[in-house]
Amino acid sequence: MKNALQWKLWNLPFFDARHEEIESRMTVWRQNFPALEADIASLTLDEQCRAIARALGASGLLAYAVPDTGQGEIVDVRSVSAIREALAYDSALVDFVFAMQGIGSAAIWRHGSSAMQATYLDGVRRGTRIAAFAMSEPDGSSDVASLSTIARREGEHYVIDGVKTWISNGGIADQYIVIARTEDVPGSKGLSALLVDADTPGLSIESRIDIISPHPLATLRFNGCRVSAERLLGEPGAGFKLAMGTLDIFRTSVGAAAVGIARRALNETLDRVRSRKIFGVQMSDMDTVRMKIADMTLDLEAAAMLVYRAAWLKDTTDKPVTREVALAKLGATEAAQRVVDSAVQLFGGTGVTVGSVIERLYRDVRPMRIYEGASEIQKLIIGKRMLS
């Protein structure tokens, strides 16, 4: 297989014997991926995502992102991160589908009732139901505490009014975890989480959003959307804590996906400089090129260490790891941006040619510094933790 992943968990000190199956599963997935890619090439983006979800479910990979808590399973962040690194190496879209099934269902498998879990999670785990997490708003994407979508209690129901935007899987999801204000108190204390089916009256797709790294994204409008009070996840007013708990699990794996993209960019660049001559000299023999490759390698390896240290701490300790998670997300996504940008420079015009691998990686890596907490937000988290 061209540009082998060259990916061994055992190069890092954070894994144990139970993670061996991840390598074997990912080897099988990557061997089968070209056939899946060919099968879905002619489909629309929405159809591709549904087909990918079904394939991930059939492979058993989604079980790592959507654990069966009824059977005593828990999410293993090292496994999720390793899977995302390998998936992103080949396809940011596949990585997106995998991650969103976990993010969009985490509140259910962490805080949902037994009835909710029995009704929703099996389909998400098999990839036959698409999950989504609706938190961001037009004026409050990073400032979660300022969210203004209201869910007012009326008897045995909540009635939701407001707008959510930048919602991944918006427009194709079968269900949404919605963070809304249920209590008339300032800041984050009045937020709660509600499970809303996509076909609930009063919920509509206001618009779809196109971005440089294509995936389903939309603005949702809630207009008198009535849901049963039994759809509350966790306690009233616990929505902020629930949302942050979800992000603490999956922010680390964003860094892992960035590492996967950076690793692909580096491997593509190694192939390029070994096969290209400039002014009669092999690029790989140029000192300036070798130094650039060294910088790319340093960024990549340091990012991987940050990511898997955070994942290991999350899996093995009960202590807060918010700082380490923020370091992993910030460090890996910023490093991956530098690696891919260097790859573009070394590829020259080919690196910015639409349809080339490096051009695609450049588009795929850029949004990672924004979603699930922009780099600036991660810096605020880290600085606050260090000074507290």
User: Domains in the chain and their CATH numbers?
Assistant: 9-126 (1.10.540.10), 131-237 (2.40.110.10), 240-387 (1.20.140.10)
User: What is the pLDDT at residue 12?
Assistant: 77
pLDDT band at residue 189 using 50, 70 and 90 as cut-offs: confident
Among 244, 70, 220, 242, smallest CA distance to 160 is for 220
Would you say residue 140 has pLDDT above 70?
A: no
**pLDDT tens for residues 236-262?**
999 999 998 898 889 999 999 999 999
Question: With contact defined as beta carbons under 8 Å apart, do 225 and 160 qualify?
Answer: yes
Would you say residue 7 has pLDDT above 60?
A: no
CA distance 70 to 73: 7
**pLDDT tens for residues 69-116?**
877 788 999 999 999 999 999 999 999 999 999 999 999 999 999 999
**pLDDT tens for residues 256-307?**
999 999 999 999 999 999 999 998 999 999 999 999 999 999 999 999 999 9
pLDDT (average), residues 152-177: 97
Question: How far, in Å, are 19, 157, 183, 204 from residue 153 at the CA level?
Answer: 45, 6, 9, 21
pLDDT band at residue 141 using 50, 70 and 90 as cut-offs: low
The torsion of the CA quartet 326, 332, 334, 336, rounded to 10 degrees, works out to -160
- Indicate which residues carry an active-site annotation: 372
End-to-end CA distance of the chain: 49
User: What is the pLDDT at residue 4?
Assistant: 54
Range in 68-77, 164-173, 332-341 the model is least confident about: 68-77
- Which residues sit opposite 161 in a β-bridge? 150, 223
What 3-state DSSP class applies to 315? Answer: helix
